[in-house]
Each structure stands twice: as C-alpha cells, then as structure tokens.
A and B are shown apart, each in its own frame.
Chain A
Amino acid sequence: ETGVTQTPRHLVMGMTNKKSLKCEQHLGHNAMYWYKQSAKKPLELMFVYSLEERVENNSVPSRFSPECPNSSHLFLHLHTLQPEDSALYLCASSLTVNTEAFFGQGTRLTVV
C-alpha cells in the first residue's frame, strides 16, 4: 500500500463512451501524475500537476482530459477512445516535482 488509491481497478469501455479515472492520495504531496503503461513499451508520462496547476502535458491527445480539483485528487476524463488506448493507467504523487514518486495500483483499461 503506497498511499495512492486508484479507481476503478479495471474498466472496459466502448469507443463512444465517456468515463473517468480517479486517483486519491493522502500523503500530503503537492505533485500528481498520470502515466500510461502499454505492453512492451516504457512507462509514458502523460500529465504533471504541481499545486493543482498543470505543469507538463506530453503531447497527449485531447480525448484524454485531466482534472485536479485539489492537491489530493486527480482525474482523467476519457471520451471517444481508440482500441490502441487500451493500457494500464498509473497515477503517482510526490512531495514536490523534484522528489520520488509513489504509484497507485493502476487502472487496467480496455477499449472495445
């Protein structure tokens, strides 16, 4: 248990659906991250938030929309996804953007 909780753990959605992934941390961290982990590929950083402000967006398609309402919660809103978006989506948090990150268990997303 790392102190970072993600829900749901598994999600199957159609290409026309809209869904949201949720991440919550009670570690008092100020930075939160979304990563994508596909089979046979390295972890890819998607978004970075520091003190609820987006500080990094690694050319992620607009069908992925992050939201950080406060320093403890992070969402990833999904709409009109493609089958190639199927992957493990990992949330992480760190005390600051310069310290080590703690990962949640991830959401296994399958787009059909």
Chain B
Amino acid sequence: GQNIDQPTEMTATEGAIVQINCTYQTSGFNGLFWYQQHAGEAPTFLSYNVLDGLEEKGRFSSFLSRSKGYSYLLLKELQMKDSASYLCAVRDRGGNYGQNFVFGPGTRLSVLP
C-alpha cells in the first residue's frame, strides 16, 4: 500500500517563503505531483517531479528525493491568494491494473497580512 504524510496546517506571512513537506512510502514510484485547492474549488496542477532535484516554476518550486521518499513545495513572495490547501500526490505502478494515484491529506496554508 501507500502512505503519504503532510503537515495538516501551516501559517506564514505575506511576502515570506514557506516550505511544505511531503513524505511517502510506496513501491514502484512513478512520479509525484503537487496541486493547489482553494476552498470549494477544484484542485489545480502546480508541479510534477519524477527525477531527483528541483523544478522551478515562477514563485513555486518543487523538490524530490526518491531515495528518501521526500518532496517539498516551496512558495516564495507569498501573497494572500496563496491561502489554500496544497495536495501532494504520488503515482505508482500498483493497484489492480498497474496505475495507482494516491493523494496525501493536504496542507492548509494560511497567509496572514
């Protein structure tokens, strides 16, 4: 099976930098995704990592270490609109047909003025 862990809640100040961690245990790892979900809305794709290292996309960056089963999402120059839940999701080759996609519990980020 899979186990994905994220902090439940985080708080940061506007303009600051925040790092949201995700640890996972899985067999047949085949990629890790980060999504943002505002309350009452659909999740939106932020980033994808399948190889070790850092992927940068504007104010958002995501890091992966496959040997440690660890990823983080880094948000720079925080804005009030960044207040949302951030979901870590892992894809592996498990499941009934070899395609399994599991979401973590999500981290609710509150950005304060």
B58 located at the interface, meaning its Cβ lies under 8 Å from any Cβ of chain A in the complex: no
Q: Is B41 in contact with A105, judged by CB distance below 8 angstroms?
A: yes
- The dominant DSSP class at the B interface is strand
Q: Is the CB of B45 within 8 A of A102?
A: yes
Q: How far is the CA of A69 from the CA of B100 in the complex (A)?
A: 22
Separation of A41 and B105 alpha carbons in the complex (Å): 6
> Chain A residues with Cβ under 8 A from B95's Cβ?
56, 58
**A61: Cβ under 8 A from any B Cβ:** no
Interface extent on B, as a size class? 20 to 34
Are the C-beta atoms of A56 and B42 separated by less than 8 Å? no
Nearest Cβ distance between residue A40 and chain B, in whole angstroms?
A: 9
Contacts A56-B95, A56-B96, A100-B33 known; A45 to B101 CB distance under 8 Å? yes
B residues at A contact (CB < 8 Å): 4, 30-31, 33, 41-45, 48, 87, 89, 91, 95-106
User: In the complex, given contacts A45-B102, A106-B42, what are 5 additional A-B residue pairs having Cβ atoms less than 8 angstroms apart?
Assistant: A42-B87, A43-B43, A45-B100, A98-B30, A103-B42
